[in-house]
Amino acid sequence: MRRREVLRSSALFALGTLSTAILGSCGNQSTTQGIGGGSLQSKSPLRVALIPWVGWGSAHVAEVKDFFKAEGIEVKQTVFQTVSEVNTALLSKQVDLAWLVALDLLVLSAQTPDLKFIYASDYSGEVDAIVSHGISSPADLKGKKIAREDIPYEIAFTGKYIDSIGLTEKDVEILSLPVPDATSAFVTGKVDAATIYEPFIGKALKERPGSKILYTAKGSNIIANGLAGSQALLQDRREDVSAYLRAVDKAVKFQKDNVLEAYQILAKWTGTTDKEISGQLTRIKLHNIESNKSVVFNASDKLYVAKGIDAAAPVLKRTGKIAKALPGKDLVDDSFIKAL
């Protein structure tokens, strides 16, 4: 599956569109005990949903390098085309864990209140951005057209930028378009700005001369990508989930120590090139267990993941995506990270 074909959508809005065939691909299978610290009793595989996003690549590397087996667990990872499909599979209990965007839980929790975010794979950095043409100051944006996908994290990301320059959504014209379509609309001059992600950012800047990056997620926690599951599942399979996280952490280290091989694995998985993988990884903040402890789940750190969720809540509320926001701290569970 090519990365360019992956729509990194993340919402409930596609709920009900997921086909029986796709959900059926997440079915159970027998478990074979490995040599690590996983469950000693025979259980079904730990079912995990994800899309081929480079930030979640450590989960794929762990599978390719047999790190799950080394930790004593059997894992069935199912790759979907969109995070909307991933979220749907999680809500319908077709999978046990899902790699998603943390602030999605503000929306998803309305249907499954006990969902918890337990590990961050990456903070988006510069791979999510608002690109623009002909806009040199905040005042220039007023009355202009902005294309963005109608999904929680893009709504929040765009809204936070609009807030930062003293405008509101009423001061601009927002067109709801999937990222590939938003990119096309921008390149052809139908909109003045677009909220998109890589590899579409590069395409937009290249194909519409004079374009520039207006805003990115660099240095923020507004787009925290990572792993989530229901509290009931997390407690029932705590040992297996911990083993899964240890395997992923091994994969993060493997990527650092074996750069060329890791790039090849990830390029094949995402349908891109080693060069593209390298470029994307330099613009996101990858996390391991250590940085999850010191930053992501550290309540005193400015990049504490719950703070990013809280920052997104007002935007999602005023745009009608949620009626009431749970506190970010109620949507995260730091017990797994603290125990590792």
pLDDT of residue 38: 56
- Angle separating helix axes 152-164 and 305-318, nearest 10 degrees: 90
Q: Is the N-terminal amide bond of 209 cis, ω within 30° of 0? A: no
Neighbours of 39 (CB within 10 A): 18
What is the amino acid identity at position 286? L
Of 67, 63, 38, the C-alpha closest to 52 is 63
pLDDT of residue 34: 47
Residue 26: is its pLDDT beyond 90? no
Of the two residues 17 and 212, the one the predictor is more confident about is 212
Q: How far is CA 15 from the centre of its chain?
A: 18
pLDDT of residue 137: 86
pLDDT of residue 273: 93
- Domain ranges (residues) in the chain: 3-124+223-339, 125-217
What is the amino acid identity at position 274? D
Dump pLDDT digits (tens) for 112-140.
999 999 999 999 989 999 999 999 888 89
Distance CA 223, CA 189 (A): 27
Dump pLDDT digits (tens) for 134-188.
998 888 999 999 999 988 999 999 999 999 999 999 999 999 998 899 999 999 9
What is the amino acid identity at position 47? R
Categorize the per-residue pLDDT at 37 as very low, low, confident or very high, splitting at 50, 70 and 90: low
Q: If you ran DSSP here, which 8-state letter would residue 40 be given?
A: S
Q: If you ran DSSP here, which 8-state letter would residue 133 be given?
A: S
Residue 33: is its pLDDT beyond 70? no
Dump pLDDT digits (tens) for 260-307.
999 999 999 999 899 999 999 998 889 999 999 999 999 999 999 999
State mean pLDDT over 104-117.
Answer: 95
- Angle separating helix axes 238-257 and 259-270, nearest 10 degrees: 120
C-alpha dist (Å) from residue 78 to 5, 8, 32, 240:
17, 15, 18, 17
Q: What is the CATH number of domain 3-124+223-339?
A: 3.40.190.10
Q: Are 29 and 76 in contact (CB under 8 A)?
A: yes
| Backbone phi, psi, residue 321, to 5° | -85, -25
Q: Are 252 and 288 in contact (CB under 8 A)?
A: yes
Q: Are 321 and 312 in contact (CB under 8 A)?
A: no
Distance CA 108, CA 325 (A): 11
Categorize the per-residue pLDDT at 20 as very low, low, confident or very high, splitting at 50, 70 and 90: very low
CATH fold match for the domains 3-124+223-339 and 125-217: yes
At a CB cut-off of 8 Å and minimum separation 6, what does 122 contact? 55, 56, 224, 225, 226, 284, 285, 286, 287
Q: How far is CA 332 from the centre of its chain?
A: 15
DSSP-assigned beta bridge partners for residue 216: 129
pLDDT of residue 197: 87
- What tokens does 164 get? 């930062």
Residue 29: is its pLDDT beyond 90? no
Q: Per CATH, which fold does 125-217 belong to?
A: D-Maltodextrin-Binding Protein; domain 2 (3.40.190)
Dump pLDDT digits (tens) for 195-254.
998 888 989 999 999 999 999 999 899 999 999 999 999 999 999 999 999 999 999 999
